[in-house]
Amino acid sequence: MSHYLILSALLFSIGAVGVLIRRNAIVVFMCVELMLNATNLAFVSFSKMHGNLDGQVIAFFVMVVAAAEVVVGLAIIMTIFRSRRSSSVDDASLLKY
Amino acid sequence: MVAFWILAVVSVAAALGMIFQRKAVYSALLLAVVMLSLAALYAVQDAPFLALVQVIVYTGAVLMLFLFVLMLVGVATVDSLVETLSGQRIWAAVAGLGFAGLLVFGIGNAVFAADAGLAAANGEGNVMGLARLIFNKYVFAFEVTSALLITAALGAMVLAHKERVSPKANQRQLSEQRFKSGEHPGNLPSSGTYARHNAVDMPALLPDGSVAERSLNPVLTARGDTVDRHADLAGESQTEAIAGDVEAVEKTVEEAQK
């Protein structure tokens, strides 16, 4: 059973590395989605391990929240792109100065 | 277990490809591979409802939204290789490896009881079991979800909304603008009209037999060989062909006038 958890941990770490090394805001966002999916896999595995469906319900709620998050996040990326003509996370650095 | 090993290899490979692929569209497609293999893993683990939701919501809706925005925001943008913080990539990779190692060894050290299995919980069917939980134990969370979704929809509308800076031109203003610009105000003649062929690179002929310059795409005109290319179809040179056409038209007109 721990196979599934290890796979989930690997996918989560790959997503985290992606968030750290990528510059394109959309790709960073996709990596965040990958991390959410990895946690969902862990929830489903735990659900099977404990023999009740609570884990699956939580995974379902994670999916709903992720869908809402994607909508708002992509709208923000679009707005930033419209004003700066760039989707790189390095270019939105105005708060630094 | 066979399914697990195949899908695990596929999903980890696709995830790695996703973060190392420089083109964002390829990343999105590889993420689709990861999500589909996760859906299959859910199905293997007695979660058929989640497997279908994963395919429909994640691969169908979320990922297509990603592709939409990618196409709008510029597919051509490629990540720059200039590091804003020096050595960031290496340290990120080290941190990621360390994190993965920590998690994997942590899970490896944990003691797990034998799988309880979902046979009892799924007795009525997976969807029934989930519905019982969602509408009894988690009904408040479910209600809050609706508020979240409405907030997200409103937020997206507010963020994507663009205020109009100048008033919208009405039809009269548009028409005046078109005529004052001094260019041809109406539709351009279509190609091939009154000519001997209907082809986009065949110029229309004016009633006197001359070539209507406006009927051709300027790109095609710039190549310069359009009229000549079609001239040999009738076995004549261009001028002869046009003369013949004009003659034929005149003859028909005369016959009609009689």
Residue B48 is predicted with a pLDDT of 92
| A88 DSSP β-pair partners | A24
Residue B194 is predicted with a pLDDT of 63
pLDDT in tens, B119-159: 887 888 889 999 999 999 999 999 999 999 999 999 999 98
Residue B225 is predicted with a pLDDT of 62
Q: What is the tally of structural domains in chain A?
A: 1
Chain A interface test: which of B31, B49, B124, B157 (most A C-beta within 10 Å):
B31
CATH number where A76 lies:
1.10.287.3510
Q: Answer for the pair B126, B47: CB distance below 8 angstroms, yes or no.
A: yes
Chain B residues within an 8 Å CB radius of A43: none
- C-alpha torsion sign, points B225, B230, B232, B236: negative
Chain A residues within an 8 Å CB radius of B34: 11, 34, 37
Q: Residue A88 and residue A93: Cα distance in Å, rounded?
A: 10
Closest alpha carbon to A58 in B148, B116, B50, B128: B50
From B80's Cα to the closest Cα of chain A, the distance in A is 7
Q: How far is CA B151 from the centre of its chain?
A: 26
**Phi then psi dihedrals of residue B53, to 5 deg:** -60, -40
Write out the residue range of the structural domain in which residue A41 sits.
2-84
pLDDT in tens, B59-74: 988 999 999 988 888 6
Q: Residue A37 and residue B37: Cα distance in Å, rounded?
A: 11
With respect to residue A33, please indicate whether it lies within any of the assigned structural domains. Answer: yes
With respect to residue A92, please indicate whether it lies within any of the assigned structural domains. Answer: no
Q: What DSSP state is assigned to residue A88?
A: B
Q: Residue B131 and residue B191: Cα distance in Å, rounded?
A: 63
CA distances, A27 to each of A34, A76, B79, B146 (Å):
10, 14, 10, 28
CB-based contacts of B100: which residues, under 8 Å, 6+ apart?
A9, A10, A13, A14
CB–CB contact B93 A59 (8 Å)? no
CB–CB contact A23 B12 (8 Å)? no
Q: Answer for the pair A38, A9: CB distance below 8 angstroms, yes or no.
A: yes
With respect to residue A91, please indicate whether it lies within any of the assigned structural domains. Answer: no
From B153's Cα to the closest Cα of chain A, the distance in A is 7
Residue B160 clears pLDDT 60, i.e. is over it: yes
CB–CB contact A48 B151 (8 Å)? no
Interface ipTM: 0.92
With respect to residue A94, please indicate whether it lies within any of the assigned structural domains. Answer: no
Residue B195 clears pLDDT 70, i.e. is over it: no
Taking residue A33's Cβ as centre, other Cβ atoms within 10 Å add up to 21
Residue B169 is predicted with a pLDDT of 87
With respect to residue A19, please indicate whether it lies within any of the assigned structural domains. Answer: yes
Q: Which residue does chain A place closest to B27, by CA atoms?
A: A27
| Secondary structure E strands in chain B | none
With respect to residue A44, please indicate whether it lies within any of the assigned structural domains. Answer: yes
CB pairs under 8 A between A and B: 230
**Using only C-alpha atoms, what is the Rg of chain A?**
16
Q: Which of A24-38, B191-205, B243-257 has the lowest mean pLDDT?
A: B191-205
pLDDT in tens, A38-61: 999 999 999 999 888 999 999 999
With respect to residue A89, please indicate whether it lies within any of the assigned structural domains. Answer: no
With respect to residue A90, please indicate whether it lies within any of the assigned structural domains. Answer: no
